[in-house]
Amino acid sequence: MHPDTPSPPGDPTRSVLRMADVGFDAPAALLDRFGLQLRHVAPGEAIPGSFWGDEEAGIIGTTVYARDDTPVHSLLHEAGHLIVLPANRRPDVHTDATDSIEEEDATCYLQIVLADGLPGVGRERLMRDMDAWGYSFRLGSTRAWFEHDAENARDFLKSRNLPHA
């Protein structure tokens, strides 16, 4: 199946972009702009700080952990959690960084915006991958939420001078 061919929503076996598809250099440079580090975890090793386990990215302090099989959307989501936090709270983070629905919404929005900073990814592809993975939004799709129901997330990001467009 071509990677851009849609699959049924919630089917994580579909071909979402993985870190092996985009490499680690561009994501590391993107995270560095926000004072974060990206650590490459060896194949088969457990990902430190992963909330969901398996191939999902992990966070500890200012470091985001990922393997080659980690979905790009997962890396950007976990990095987004750290980015929306005030810098003085980041060192205390281990595995779970969300304190509120507002932060979670802002993180989802930010991961979409950040995708434009990765060659070969972009927001359109990331939103399709989020839908395929099973992210759930009340308007039915990531795109519908992003375009029509995410004012609170944009306001949250704007108030903290974070990317929001």
Residue type, 99: D
Q: 108 is written with which tokens? A: 């989802």
**The pLDDT of residue 7:** 42
Residues with Cβ within 8 Å of 48's Cβ and at least 6 positions away in sequence, in order, are 39, 41, 58, 60, 65
pLDDT digits (tens, 9 = 90+) for 58-88: 999 999 999 999 999 999 999 999 999 999 9
**The pLDDT of residue 5:** 34
Going from N- to C-terminal start, the domains of the chain cover 19-159
Region 144-153: mean pLDDT is 96
Lowest mean pLDDT among 5-14, 40-49, 63-72, 121-130: 5-14
pLDDT band at 149 (very low <50, low <70, confident <90, very high): very high
Residue 16 has a CB neighbour count (10 Å cut-off) of 22
- Closest to 79 in 3D by CA, of 32, 15, 149: 32
Residues with Cβ within 8 Å of 60's Cβ and at least 6 positions away in sequence, in order, are 48, 49, 93, 94, 95
- pTM for this model (two decimals): 0.90
Residue 2 has a CB neighbour count (10 Å cut-off) of 5
Whether 49 has a pLDDT exceeding 90, the answer reads yes
pLDDT band at 45 (very low <50, low <70, confident <90, very high): very high
Whether 26 has a pLDDT exceeding 50, the answer reads yes
